[in-house]
Structure 1
Amino acid sequence: MVKGSVKGQGAELEFYNVTLLNASDSSLITGSAFSEVNFSLQASPAEGYILKVTSMGFLPVVKRVEASANLDVGLIVLAVETKELEAVTVKGKKASFTQKNGKLVMNIQGTTLSDAGTVFDALSRIPGLRVGTDDKVTLVDKGAPLIIVDGKEVRDNEELNRLQSNDIVSVEIDRNPSAKYDASVTSVLYIVTKKKKKDHLSLQLSGRSRNGLGLNVKQSYNPGIKVNFRKGRLSNYITYHYGEWNYKGNFSGHLTNKVGEYSYESNKRGLWNNGYKSQRAFWGSTYDLAKGGSLQAQYSFSDYSNEHNINTLLTLRDSDSEITRITDTKRHSDGRLHTLALVYEARIDSLNSLTFGTDYSVKDNVSRSDIFEGNVAYADRTRTRMRNDTEYSVASGKIDYRGELSGIGVQAGAKYLWTQNDGLAKSLDLEDGGVNFNNGNETLDQIFASYLLANKSVNKWSFSAGLRIERTKTNVKLNDRVLLDTVYVGWYPSASVSYALESEAKLSFTYSRKIQRPDFWSLNPSISYLDSLLYSQGDPTLSPASIDVCNLNFSLPLGLSLFAEYEYYRNSIMWTAINSPGTVGVVKRIPINLSKTEYLNFGANYNFSLDKLNLNSSVRVGVPFIKVPYMDGFRELRDPFCSVDIDGDYSLGKRFQLLAGFHYISRRMRDLTMYAEFWDSSLGLQAKFLDDKLLVTMRSKYIFSSDSFRWLGRYGTIEQGHNDKTNRRALIVYVRYNLNEFKNIFKDKSGGNDALRRL
């Protein structure tokens, strides 16, 4: 164990890096980044160490120290660089990948990505990550990751939206997280942000506008204000954002179904427009305790209002007749989210700490749809009002310990998560006032989990092993009738081994077991009609899936890293379609369990920097091995897919940067549905003024891109297809002005992120 403390001479350190080398051959033993004054590193035995401490804007400190079982190097003071040295540092600032125990780490601070704009603008430029128009973050071939900011889970995207790109130090992508995390978490996005400890008052104003360049109107506005102030040990952070979005598009779809000698077909085409308004507010306060640790409290609020209109021309055919109907749907929905969180962190000493956290969230959504459907040839018509109300309550409490026992790093903890979902689905006939159906459903989930994780470094080797135990109790009711009442216990081990090769190359292997719980939509037994020939219904008896994941990572010099991954699913969950029992020609979509599915994934990440040019690229290739019950036999799915991401920038002097990006994903199978290939490109210009306090970015997205989003599913004699043809070309303008140097020092402390993600 090597420990000590680091400070800046006459200036504050936001973060610093400590690297420990073997004195005999200068090979890397270990290293990490720190934001607190004190640091500690687990070190393997050696004849002697070379200790290197670095921080941007400061001169590095390198010295040889003697090896011992518990070495304290004392206080290290870093001197501020001269102006000439700072100029050299700025000129060479580039984004780059590094590997850390099988995780991919992308540096943000001191790179061009720090001026990307919002946190979502920065994440969208990281190869392998996708950010949708709704700011939903996904990892290629992994879905939505758990997002953690400085060790605290982000419960909702509205809370993540508080961050700006210049708040971020680094982003770490973990494709195979350990037993420390919830067993349902298949990937983690870990964001490290800057911190500021001195007394200060800071203000930041920002605005983001998106304007459509094509025939489809796409406009959005997102102004915001942030205030951050600290006095003594007390810090406060307040934000407010307002947003408006307006989108239009057109679509087409078809459904064919052959039942015996008869054939049923529906074809539809239509227009949709969507208007969305939201506001978000956040308050957080932290008090640094005299003996280390802190006490934190925060409250966040967000609400939204959505207007969604769809006009559809629907043609229904069977073997004997053809009917054309017009459908006009007007949907209005409102929602709110309140979250209150408390966290107490106790620092026992420089190596050991305890963290206690609790939070409570309430999220409600009210949706009302007025549906008019009429026959073009005849005077008959129907007018229906659909009402869907849902309210989610999520509470959690957890305790985490981090420290060292007999030279072994130890992490342990326990967590309780309580989630309740109350829903109401009601259909009214507006012509005669009758009730078509009125269903109330209730789902209650209770999860208790505990984990133990140990790690040890020996020479160039690093080892980690962990075990997580989760007990899940689920109760599902429909109209006060119990449909499911079950309890199951799962054991979820994890392990990793890494080895530091010569020339900065690293090799690591990780293993973990995960669980895929059915989301509440898949468990909900209520019927949801999509049109006259199609409806969906969940199955409360679905079993959770068990997943074994093995990951091999290999990082090489010159910015290249490779990985290979194998995933084995038991009872994987897949949506399919069948003929509705008792209703000829009507299709029912249902979720099912498959006994076994397998996936192989391969990938490479590469960073290239040359003078003023910087490129980051990523390539992914995946192959599924799925055997699905199909008609009277089985259907095997073996279609591979690939994705390519390239992001680059070119310096046009001190004030201007040219930005460009390209994303591609080939056609791919998901469940029994084939999704068409998709690509897009972007081009932009960035400028800084007023001593870099004013940042202006203009970026045109989807300049050259596929003009539609298409998918096609075949389920025996049933075929369903959809084509969303929308011109996505848009010009995004981002403006940020810093009054004083603004730093975000509060992060989300919620513990129930996984529950809300399932909702």
Structure 2
Amino acid sequence: MKNRFRNRKVLLPILLLVSNTIYAQTFEIKGTVCNDEGNKLEYFHAVLLSTKDSSLVKGGAFIDGLFSFEHLQPFNYLLKVTSLGYEPLFVSASIEKASVDLGVIKLRQTQLKGIEVVAKRASFKVEKGKLTVFVKGTSIENAGSLKDAIKECPQIIVDQSNNISVLGKGTPVIFINGKEVKSSSVLEALQSSSIKKIEIDRNPSSNYDASVTSVIRVETIKLTQEVLNVSVYDRYSVGRKNGYATGFEVNSKAGRLTNYLAYNFSDGKTLDFKEITTTNKYYLNDFTKSVDTTLYATNSHKIFFGNDIQINRRVNLGIQYSGLFFRSNTDRTVLKSVIQETSYSTLNNSNNSKDIDQLNSIGLNSQIEIDSTSSLRFDFDVAQKQNKTNDLINTNGDPLLEITTYDKLYHRIYTGQAIYSTVLKGITTTFGTKYSIIHKTGETKSTLTQANVAFSETNLNLNDKIAAAYFNLSKSISKFTFELGTRYEYSQTTNQSLLNNQSVNDQLAMGNFFPSLMVDYAYDSTFIQKFNLSYSRRITRPNISYLSNYKNYFDSLEYSTGNPFLKSTFTHSFNLSFSLPKDVLLSFDYSRIKNEIELVTLRDETDSNIVKHSFVNIKNIDALSTYANYKLAKNGWSVLFAFGADKYFIHSNGVDNINRGIVWYCSLKPEIKIAKRIIVNAEFSYTSKGYSGITYNKPIYFFTTGVSTNLFKKRMLLQITWQDLFITRIQRYESLYGDLKFSERSDYDAFHKIRFSIKYNFNNFTPRFNKKASNVDELNRL
């Protein structure tokens, strides 16, 4: 009896809670925003404030003149409507027993005297330690692709291969409307004019995979009316070698159905130069010097299709497909001089490499809004990736030394996840699970061409499984916001390969907890507006190719290989940031890194005259960094400033214990709008000499400028961009591990391009389809 009574005591409050949820009623405030002439505004912001303390209730950016705020409680609200070129307007809105339609709200255009010269540099704000960059209505919306728009944001850097990374945090995971992006081809297909805002998170919570060190969240502009939109574009790049890209986007909304199609084709060439020196640090007369010239030709087809259907007010279903077909041809010539104490020799190597990459992925997703505070999401993705490579290496034109390498790899990736979010006693609570499988098979063979004798052969059979479960709690108390979460991940990697007919049977399994914590305080003083402190524990698992001990020969004296004994990297990451007046963000990072993975140059174990490039773990690294962003805007121009500094402390065998100094970074991006339709922008970037981990980088700086204009009522965009105007962006670095110092000077064609682009929008194309994939982390590891 006691147990029954206790059970009833437990069930009673649950039934009351469910009853209150079922019968709780929420309301809506909506309206239409027009100009003085009664035309709907193309783009505007609307925020709903509490009349009690002027705190923000809800807000957002809207298009086509329509706005709506749902799930509101009976209360007295104050609506603020703003738009570029119009005076702000406040409107009272009170909800008592029914939803409110405010009808037509007219904004009055700002009256300016003299000539209008107004810069449109993107503005940004800081919220809970995250940097948000607003794109719509700024020059970034004309950047080109989504990838081009991300490049324009503070704290973003781009390498010679056009890869994006967050300064001091490495490669980010990118989300579009809350859904993970699995391939960079999506970033090139989606256009910057579709983007509303971009958010950069330098220390993500336990909601994300433990291997995620930074996150970029992209929010697109939502399509609010039934329409068919089309956008076409063409870009042509001029450098040492030329290239072009063309594509289109089609987006339609009909009732509850939204369809999206994007296609991009690119074709081009680059001509790159390198000088590489490997020196014995104990015997300076013992070194190898190479002069490398590489002609790289590529063409690719990228396609994305998505279908999104709103079943009812609470249930949304989506299906999407993305495909990539990539083909490249590389001709590389290397003149190598080998100088030792008593000998001198030269090698003249030529290498022709043909690559074909294919990626096909299909994903299903479902979003269920259980009530105004609870939601449930399911994601399932299947992807297949295939790579074929044929290499022909010749030394000194001698047929006896010619090597043929054939490489064929298959990846199959299966990923599923479920996420439940709700509010319990004022605490926003998120629970999630994720499970992924990567299966990699293939064969690699190196053969002496004339003799047709294989001297290295590998048959790969790798399986990688990761299971994860996590929760995250968030609560606001007065001016404080607290977030606490933890994630558990269990991984199992199995290697059942054959190396030169010898079987490999390795298995590695591990389970770890990854907690996260965030405290945000709205200080609201004249000097400090917000204060944020966050912590997270992260893991970086080795790329699957890093673990393969197959040898890829460049010539008879040099090859690259993986390291099957490579360990995962664990990082304790701390971030402290301050939001200051006038859009100033000041951020400090500290990371304690164990088993950092680095690419180094070593001597071959069996022949000291042969060098190999492989991966090792650096035992302990302490990394300090600081960053600051500031925007200065005056009548007629604006400048976006970004500053940063890094310092590393390394404690590991094989690495000299030296003072590694401080690396300084700065970037200035001025912009001016001339006349009515012409925008001129520029960028100057400088990075000082110093160490990044074990790598010592020489100073690097460059200047980029461009001009753009809109025609035919903003339907056509013309743009010219000149990257690295003075051709100063030359990478020079060196790394020292053991007794070998590796130095490289690289001049990449991609850094010095002039790009001409034209884009035409039919029906003011503004796509909204939510691209998603739950397998982004698994694909990145490939």
Q: Is the 8 A contact 1:712 1:721 kept in 2?
A: yes
Q: Is 1:240 aligned to 2:263, yes or no? A: yes
CA distance in 1, matches of 2:628, 2:382: 40
Relative distance call for 1:410 and 1:350 in structure 2 (3 A) is same
Relative distance call for 1:51 and 1:133 in structure 2 (3 A) is farther
Alignment partner of 1:740 out of 751, 755, 763: 763
Residue 41 (structure 1) shift: 9.0
Q: Is the 8 A contact 1:255 1:267 kept in 2?
A: yes
Alignment partner of 1:403 out of 406, 409, 422: 422
Question: Within 5 A, what are the aligned runs for 1:297-336?
Answer: 297-336=319-358
Q: Is the 8 A contact 2:648 2:693 kept in 1?
A: no
Q: CA RMSD in A?
A: 2.9
CA distance in 2, matches of 1:390, 1:281: 22
Q: Is the 8 A contact 1:128 1:645 kept in 2?
A: no
CA distance in 1, matches of 2:365, 2:265: 28
Q: Is 1:342 aligned to 2:369, yes or no? A: no
Q: Is the 8 A contact 1:2 1:72 kept in 2?
A: no
Structure 1 residue aligned with 2:5: none
Structure 1 residue aligned with 2:14: none
Q: Is 1:437 aligned to 2:464, yes or no? A: no
Structure 2 residue aligned with 1:81: 106
Q: Percent identity?
A: 25
CA distance in 1, matches of 2:117, 2:48: 22
Q: Is 1:119 aligned to 2:146, yes or no? A: yes
Residue identity matched to 1:554: F
Structure 1 residue aligned with 2:410: 391
Alignment partner of 1:657 out of 679, 686, 694: 679
Residue identity matched to 1:468: R
Alignment partner of 1:165 out of 184, 192, 212: 192
Q: Is the 8 A contact 1:594 1:628 kept in 2?
A: yes
Structure 1 residue aligned with 2:694: 672
Q: Is the 8 A contact 2:278 2:287 kept in 1?
A: yes
Question: Within 5 A, what are the aligned runs for 1:129-208?
Answer: 129-132=156-159, 134-208=161-235
Q: Is the 8 A contact 1:127 1:647 kept in 2?
A: no
Q: Is 1:756 aligned to 2:779, yes or no? A: yes
Q: Is the 8 A contact 1:123 1:131 kept in 2?
A: no
Structure 1 SS opposite 2:566 = coil
Structure 1 residue aligned with 2:237: 210
CA distance in 1, matches of 2:634, 2:26: 37
Q: Is 1:706 aligned to 2:731, yes or no? A: no
When structure 1 is superposed on structure 2, of 6-15 and 248-257 the one drifting more is 6-15
Residue identity matched to 1:408: I
CA distance in 1, matches of 2:128, 2:59: 11
Residue 30 (structure 1) shift: 6.5
Relative distance call for 1:2 and 1:545 in structure 2 (3 A) is farther
CA distance in 2, matches of 1:4, 1:93: 36
Structure 2 residue aligned with 1:225: 248
Residue identity matched to 1:478: S
CA distance in 2, matches of 1:298, 1:388: 30
Q: Is the 8 A contact 1:484 1:540 kept in 2?
A: no
Structure 2 residue aligned with 1:614: 638
Relative distance call for 1:246 and 1:576 in structure 2 (3 A) is closer
Across the two proteins, how many residue pairs are aligned to each other? Answer: 739
Residue 42 (structure 1) shift: 12
CA distance in 2, matches of 1:527, 1:565: 38
Residue identity matched to 1:434: V
When structure 1 is superposed on structure 2, of 328-337 and 49-58 the one drifting more is 49-58
Q: Is the 8 A contact 2:43 2:83 kept in 1?
A: no
When structure 1 is superposed on structure 2, of 202-211 and 535-544 the one drifting more is 535-544
Deviations 1:504-549 (A, max 9, x none): 8111111111111111232112122233333333222322122111
Relative distance call for 1:691 and 1:460 in structure 2 (3 A) is same
Residue identity matched to 1:645: S
Q: Is the 8 A contact 1:394 1:419 kept in 2?
A: yes
Residue 37 (structure 1) shift: 4.4
Structure 1 SS opposite 2:109 = helix
Relative distance call for 1:42 and 1:313 in structure 2 (3 A) is farther
CA distance in 2, matches of 1:99, 1:721: 40
CA distance in 2, matches of 1:239, 1:429: 45
Q: Is the 8 A contact 2:619 2:653 kept in 1?
A: no
Structure 1 residue aligned with 2:52: 23
Alignment partner of 1:589 out of 610, 613, 631: 613
Q: Is 1:128 aligned to 2:155, yes or no? A: yes
Structure 1 residue aligned with 2:570: 546
When structure 1 is superposed on structure 2, of 73-82 and 737-746 the one drifting more is 73-82
Q: Is the 8 A contact 1:90 1:110 kept in 2?
A: no
Residue 571 (structure 1) shift: 2.5
Q: Is the 8 A contact 1:30 1:42 kept in 2?
A: no
Q: Is 1:537 aligned to 2:561, yes or no? A: yes
Residue 60 (structure 1) shift: 4.6
Structure 2 residue aligned with 1:289: 311
Residue 97 (structure 1) shift: 1.8
In structure 2, stretches of 5+ residues that fail to align are 1-23, 34-39
Residue 76 (structure 1) shift: 5.7
Structure 2 SS opposite 1:126 = coil
Q: Is the 8 A contact 2:349 2:555 kept in 1?
A: no
Q: Is 1:452 aligned to 2:471, yes or no? A: yes
CA distance in 1, matches of 2:441, 2:531: 48
Relative distance call for 1:22 and 1:493 in structure 2 (3 A) is farther
CA distance in 1, matches of 2:71, 2:473: 16
Structure 2 residue aligned with 1:690: 712
Question: Within 5 A, what are the aligned runs for 1:624-635?
Answer: 624-630=648-654, 635=657
Residue identity matched to 1:405: L
Q: Is 1:492 aligned to 2:521, yes or no? A: no
CA distance in 1, matches of 2:565, 2:27: 55
Residue 410 (structure 1) shift: 1.3
Relative distance call for 1:380 and 1:193 in structure 2 (3 A) is closer
Deviations 1:406-435 (A, max 9, x none): 211111111111112223221111111111
Alignment partner of 2:485 out of 443, 447, 466: 466
Structure 1 SS opposite 2:396 = strand
Residue 716 (structure 1) shift: 3.2
Alignment partner of 1:369 out of 378, 388, 391: 391
Structure 2 residue aligned with 1:255: 278
Structure 1 SS opposite 2:780 = helix
Structure 2 SS opposite 1:84 = coil
Residue 157 (structure 1) shift: 0.4
CA distance in 2, matches of 1:201, 1:87: 36
Q: Is 1:513 aligned to 2:537, yes or no? A: yes
When structure 1 is superposed on structure 2, of 339-348 and 533-542 the one drifting more is 533-542
Relative distance call for 1:41 and 1:663 in structure 2 (3 A) is farther
Deviations 1:651-696 (A, max 9, x none): 1021111111112222343443222222111111111110111111
Relative distance call for 1:509 and 1:726 in structure 2 (3 A) is closer
Relative distance call for 1:492 and 1:75 in structure 2 (3 A) is farther
Residue identity matched to 1:525: N
Relative distance call for 1:675 and 1:362 in structure 2 (3 A) is same
Structure 2 residue aligned with 1:715: 737
Relative distance call for 1:571 and 1:65 in structure 2 (3 A) is farther
Structure 1 residue aligned with 2:300: 278
Relative distance call for 1:553 and 1:380 in structure 2 (3 A) is same
Structure 1 SS opposite 2:652 = strand
CA distance in 2, matches of 1:127, 1:108: 13
Residue identity matched to 1:461: F
Structure 1 residue aligned with 2:32: 9
Relative distance call for 1:125 and 1:87 in structure 2 (3 A) is farther
Structure 2 SS opposite 1:445 = strand
Relative distance call for 1:77 and 1:643 in structure 2 (3 A) is farther
Deviations 1:100-131 (A, max 9, x none): 11101111112222222222222222222123
